[in-house]
Amino acid sequence: MSAKDLTIYFQVVFKGEQTTDTGPFEEGASRRTVFVEVSEEGYDDSMESRSADEVAEETALTAASELATQKFAELAENSAVITRLDESPLEILDLEPDLEEDGVKAWLSK
């Protein structure tokens, strides 16, 4: 298994400020999206009795929350929906991550 196979991608969508738009959370809520890449380095040490998928998802949600609240303080108490992606999203190709630490990279969608 190659290192690429051990990398897991997520899309984390946060409910944002109220707008006149409609969205999947509720009418009038905008969304902020964070894409997260978690390599084996980002989840391998904390697996204990949990699966790699569980630890990677938790790691991704933590990183996305950290980035979202750094950029948009109002998101600190908002709910998030996390989705595992099959591959790296096109939106982040050739972009520097907004957050990078210990096997985790995160990009705030523009």
Tens of pLDDT, residues 17-58? 555 445 554 455 567 899 999 998 877 655 666 788 888 999
The full set of domain ranges for the chain reads 3-108
Q: Which residue has the higher pLDDT, 5 or 75?
A: 75
Euclidean distance between CA atoms 82 and 10, whole angstroms: 7
Task: Using the predicted structure, report yes or no on whether residue 110 has a pLDDT greater than 90.
Answer: no
Tokens of 89: 């999203």
Task: Using the predicted structure, report yes or no on whether residue 64 has a pLDDT greater than 60.
Answer: yes
CB atoms within 10 A of CB 96: 8
Q: Which residue has the higher pLDDT, 58 or 5?
A: 58
Confidence of residue 100 (pLDDT cuts 50, 70, 90): very high
Which pTM value belongs to this model? Answer: 0.79
Question: For the chain, what's the residue count?
Answer: 110
Interior/surface letters 15-49, b for 16+ CB within 10 angstroms, e for the rest: bbeeeeeeeebeeebebbbbbbbbbbebbeeeeee
